[in-house]
Structure 1
Amino acid sequence: MKSIETIATVTKDGKITVQLPPDIPAGEHHVVIVIEEKYTDEKVESQEKRPPLNFPVHNCGLGSENLSLRREDMYGDWGR
């Protein structure tokens, strides 16, 4: 199996022509064609102009003044 990557021009009637390397023998071959859809410049510009996300912030404060979130205080000796 060989993989060949090239650029093809499609005609108005939907035909393409491909120039293969000389080591490909004549005859029928299984061929896979992948058409990559490219973004236009307009789509790229619209993505760049999008404002940054604005997530809501809810300040609930700490539950109490002596609340400690240190690992040692949360788990003790058994959680290490």
Structure 2
Amino acid sequence: MKSIETIATVTKDGKITAQLPLDIPEGEHQVVIVIDEQPLGEKVESKQKRPPLNFPVHSCGAWPENLSLRREDMYDDWGR
């Protein structure tokens, strides 16, 4: 038994279309469908817009002019 959470499209005539993972073999399967009472479009509209994240900023000044980030300059012959 496998549990899959996906988004399905329901048409006016009551047909449902859903995308399943490719490892599900074709053929008839017994499924259990749980449907939210409100479509996703209505849920998204009811949510308030979230403000952008506010990450802390630490200024360390400008990088030295002679700073080299080449692998050969950062590691020795043993790769450490």
Give the number of the structure with larger relative contact order, counting CA–CA contacts within 8 Å between residues 6 or more apart.
2
Normalising by the smaller structure, the TM-score range is 0.3 to 0.5
Give TM-score scaled by structure 1 length: 0.43
Greater Rg, structure 1 or structure 2? 1
Which structure dedicates a bigger proportion of its chain to strand? 2
Give TM-score scaled by structure 2 length: 0.43
